[in-house]
Amino acid sequence: MTFKNIITNLKSLPPLSNTPYMIQQLYSVGDQNIDIIQLVKVIEADAVLTANILKLTNAPIYGFSRKISSISQAVTLFGTDEIYGLVLRYAIDEELKADTSIYGVDRKVFNDVCHIQSSLMLQWYSKIDMRHAQVMAPLALIMESGKLVLSNEVMKSNYIKEFTSGYQKAVNVAEFEHSLLDTTTYYLTAMLFEYWKLEPLYVEILKGLDFEMEVSPKVASYIDSLDVIRVAVNLKSILTKDSIEEACCLVEDLGLDSFHFRKVAIRVREQYNKVLINRMKKN
């Protein structure tokens, strides 16, 4: 299993369905100039996508007290950027139906992590720079997609036990991935987005997350904030005391308020704990 093999297999993936590309065209004029009425119409024209977007926006992890019953309501509450992320999230999940057990979690927990990463980004950064938060929350929701790609490849190989054992022992997952593949799953996500011709800014950010690249100060700030989120919330540590404190150190290094970050992280963790309790009751 090599990076070259994975990239070759990436290029054999089918294209995304038409709806995500139609929505991408709406965003090409600039996300602040989107025709919201047209956006709602495009989503509602796809009945399956509509049902899944409503399912995602009504997920207990978001903590809305009343049910979201329409796409227009979802766009109003979540904003156009986050809805874009949810559309991509659904489209990617449809194409990458992976078994995530090599990471020690099932798909439900994997999806939980993705939503928590997005929620934490939005709640943390909205008081620092709302525009930054709006741009990055959708990316935080879908940045782990490369792990689905890698999971599919590992499950088809003879290295399942080797990978699982190494992953469990790894202190730094990115370093472990690099030792096996000469890359990381965040870079794989970037390659996946590039192949599917998705948002170029997201490609640039993800390529720079684990590798030194020359980027603008703005892109560098995006990368730094995404790094904080993945340290606080990841498949090994979902807002644990240690992962929050490690993330707080990064926040301080950025010259930002770690007290504010810790407060938000604990609040998001409490929201997730309620979700887990309710899930256990139902089972």
The yes-or-no verdict on residue 9 having pLDDT over 90 is no
Report how far residue 121's alpha carbon sits from residue 133's, in angstroms, rounded to the nearest whole number: 6
The yes-or-no verdict on residue 241 having pLDDT over 90 is yes
State the DSSP string of the chain.
--HHHHHHHHTTSPPPPHHHHHHHHHHTT-GGG--HHHHHHHHHTSHHHHHHHHHHHT-GGG--SS---SHHHHHHHH-HHHHHHHHHHHHHHHH----GGGGT--HHHHHHHHHHHHHHHHHHHTTT-HHHHHHHHHHHHHTTHHHHHHHHHHHTSS-HHHHHHHHHH-SSHHHHHHHHHSS-HHHHHHHHHHHTT--HHHHHHHHTTSS-----HHHHHHHHHHHHHHHHB-SS-BS-HHHHHHHHHHHHHTT--HHHHHHHHHHHHHHHHHHHHHHHHH-
Query: Which pLDDT band holds residue 123 (cuts at 50, 70, 90)?
Result: very high
Which pLDDT does position 109 carry in this prediction? 93
The yes-or-no verdict on residue 209 having pLDDT over 90 is yes
Mean pLDDT of the chain: 88
Q: What CATH number is given to the structural domain containing 198?
A: 1.10.3210.10
- Where in the sequence is the domain holding 125, given as residue range(s)? 3-282
Share of the chain above pLDDT 70, in %: 96
**Mean pLDDT throughout 236-248?**
97
Domains identified in the chain, total number: 1
Query: Which pLDDT band holds residue 29 (cuts at 50, 70, 90)?
Result: low
Predicted TM-score (pTM) of this structure: 0.89
